[in-house]
C-alpha cells in the first residue's frame, strides 16, 4: 500500500494543450484529488500553486491516507517544487519529496540551468535541456503548452531519485463526469520506456486550462484512480 500511495506524487504529471498562444498560470490555485483502488477511497492529494514574483512559482503538495490505508501508512507525504516561467516554458529549480516522520528519506533535486545539469541528493547527476520537469511542475508545464489531438512524443521527468523518459500520445476527445458535470476532455496516455504494462491515463478538461479531472495509474496488479473534487482559483487562468 505504501508503494501505491507514493504514486500520488507522480501524478501531477500531465499533458495538455491547444492553440499556438500559451495560456497563463493562475497566481493562486488549490486542487484536491481523491484516490481509490478497487472502488475503495485510500486518500487525497492536495496541491497548491502560488506565484511568488517575477515569473517564479512555488508548488506545495500533501498526501493524506484514509481508512485502511491510514492504518498501514501512518504518515503524511509532502512535496515542494519551485520553478520559473520564461517565454512560456517552465524551468524547474528545486524539488523535494519526503514523509513527515522520516525526513532522511527525502528525495531532492537541484536544477542548474546555466550548466544544464540536475543534481540529486543520492549523488546522481544528469544532463538536462528545456522541457525536463519534476513531478510537481509537470502539470503546469502542460497547461502552458497544451497538446493537440493525435500528438505523440517523449518527456523526461526527474523525481528526486532518478531521471526517466516517458512516451505519451493524445488519444482523443471524450466526455467524462466531473465536479462541473459532464465535460469535454482530451484523453492522454503516458508510458515509461521499457515498461509496457505500466500506463498512466489522463483526462484533461479542454475548457478549464486542461486540468486533469481524472487520472488512472495502471499497474500489473492494481489500478489507482484519482478524481478531481475541488479546484479553486482556476478562473484567473481560464481561456
Domain boundaries, the chain: 2-237
Neighbours of 194 (CB within 10 A): 8
Instruction: State how far the Cα of 232 lies from the Cα of 209, in Å rounded to an integer.
Output: 13
Statement: the pTM of the whole predicted model exceeds 0.85: no
What local confidence, expressed as pLDDT, does residue 24 receive? 79
What local confidence, expressed as pLDDT, does residue 151 receive? 84
Which residues lie closer than 8 Å to 19 by C-beta, 6 or more apart? 146
Residue ranges of the chain with per-residue pLDDT less than 70: 1-23, 67-75, 235-239
| Closest to 108 measured CA to CA, from 71, 134, 139 | 134
* Total residues belonging to the chain: 239
Torsional sign, CA 234, 236, 237, 239:
positive
Exposure b/e, 113-152, CB count within 10 A at least 16 = b: beeeebebeeeeebebeeebbbbbbbbbbbbbbbbeeeee
What local confidence, expressed as pLDDT, does residue 1 receive? 46
- Give the CATH architecture of domain 2-237: Clam (2.50)
Distances (CA, A) of 233 to 49, 70, 119, 238: 10, 29, 33, 9
Amino acid at each position: 500500500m505504501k508503494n501505491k500511495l507514493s504514486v500520488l506524487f507522480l501524478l501531477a504529471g500531465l499533458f495538455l494543450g491547444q492553440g499556438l498562444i500559451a495560456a497563463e498560470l493562475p497566481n493562486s490555485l488549490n486542487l484536491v484529488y481523491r484516490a481509490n483502488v478497487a472502488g475503495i477511497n485510500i486518500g487525497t492529494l492536495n496541491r497548491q500553486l502560488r506565484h511568488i514574483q517575477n515569473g517564479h512559482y512555488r508548488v506545495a503538495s500533501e498526501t493524506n491516507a484514509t481508512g485502511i490505508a491510514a492504518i498501514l501508512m501512518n504518515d503524511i507525504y509532502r512535496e515542494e517544487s519551485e520553478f520559473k516561467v520564461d517565454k512560456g516554458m517552465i524551468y524547474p529549480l528545486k524539488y523535494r519529496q519526503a514523509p513527515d516522520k522520516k525526513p532522511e528519506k527525502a528525495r531532492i533535486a537541484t536544477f542548474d540551468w546555466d550548466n544544464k545539469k540536475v543534481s540529486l541528493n543520492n549523488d546522481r547527476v544528469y544532463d538536462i535541456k528545456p522541457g525536463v520537469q519534476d513531478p510537481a511542475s509537470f502539470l503546469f508545464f502542460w497547461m502552458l503548452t497544451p497538446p493537440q489531438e493525435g500528438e505523440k512524443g517523449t518527456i523526461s521527468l526527474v523525481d528526486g531519485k532518478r531521471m526517466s523518459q516517458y512516451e505519451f500520445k493524445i488519444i482523443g476527445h471524450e466526455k467524462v463526469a466531473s465536479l462541473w458535470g459532464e465535460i469535454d476532455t482530451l484523453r492522454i496516455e503516458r508510458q515509461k520506456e521499457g515498461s509496457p504494462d505500466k500506463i498512466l491515463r489522463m483526462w484533461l478538461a479542454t475548457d478549464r486550462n486542461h486540468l486533469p479531472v481524472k487520472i488512472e495509474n495502471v499497474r500489473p496488479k492494481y489500478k489507482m484512480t484519482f478524481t478531481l473534487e475541488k479546484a479553486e482559483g482556476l478562473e484567473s487562468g481560464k481561456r
